[in-house]
Amino acid sequence: MTSEQNPAPETSAADGPRPGRLTAAAALAGLEGAALVVGGAYMLIAGLAGHPDNPEQAITGGVTLIVLALLPLFAARGLLARKSWSRGPAIITQIMALPVAYTLLQADSVAIPGGIVLGVVAVAALVLLVNPATTRALGIRTPGSSSQ
């Protein structure tokens, strides 16, 4: 056994303070996940306690929304912890949200404002997630970058 100490790990761009863009992207993903949990819980409770047209469909829809909420919630947690794997699920969540927003915009109901909000949040989160500062903060190498 030697008395040598282990060398200190090299510092990288990911060691500094978390960029505001990364925090904002995590907040938007977390907001989407929380909205899915609330919507799923509402459907589930309505299916169990209320008198919907089809209780089984309401229960299944509620459980599905709650399970779907796990993707953006885990992505948000990973983004806050600066885990490089978290950007993929966060981007997938935003891409999945865009057709939902479009569908809500096509409705003739009070769903139109929801579609506008969802579309704005999805596009904003996508812009934040592909931003070079976010990529560097997560330690993701871009094509053409040196492989030091």
At 68 the three-state DSSP class reads: helix
- The HSE-up count of residue 30 (CA atoms within 13 Å, CB side) is 11
Output the pLDDT for position 144.
72
Output the pLDDT for position 99.
96
Higher pLDDT, 12 or 78: 78
Confidence of residue 37 (pLDDT cuts 50, 70, 90): very high
List the single range of 43-52, 66-75, 114-123 with lowest mean pLDDT: 43-52
Question: Under a CB-based contact definition with an 8 Å cutoff, are residues 144 and 132 in contact?
Answer: no
H or E stretch at 50: none
Question: Under a CB-based contact definition with an 8 Å cutoff, are residues 40 and 62 in contact?
Answer: yes
Averaged pLDDT for residues 51-78: 92
Output the pLDDT for position 7.
43
Question: Of all residues in the chain, what percent are helix, strand and coil, respectively (each to 5)?
Answer: 70, 0, 30
Exposed, middle or buried, 144 (CB in 10 Å: 0-12/13-18/19+)?
exposed
Higher pLDDT, 9 or 20: 20
Output the pLDDT for position 54.
86
Residue 68 has pLDDT above 50, yes or no: yes
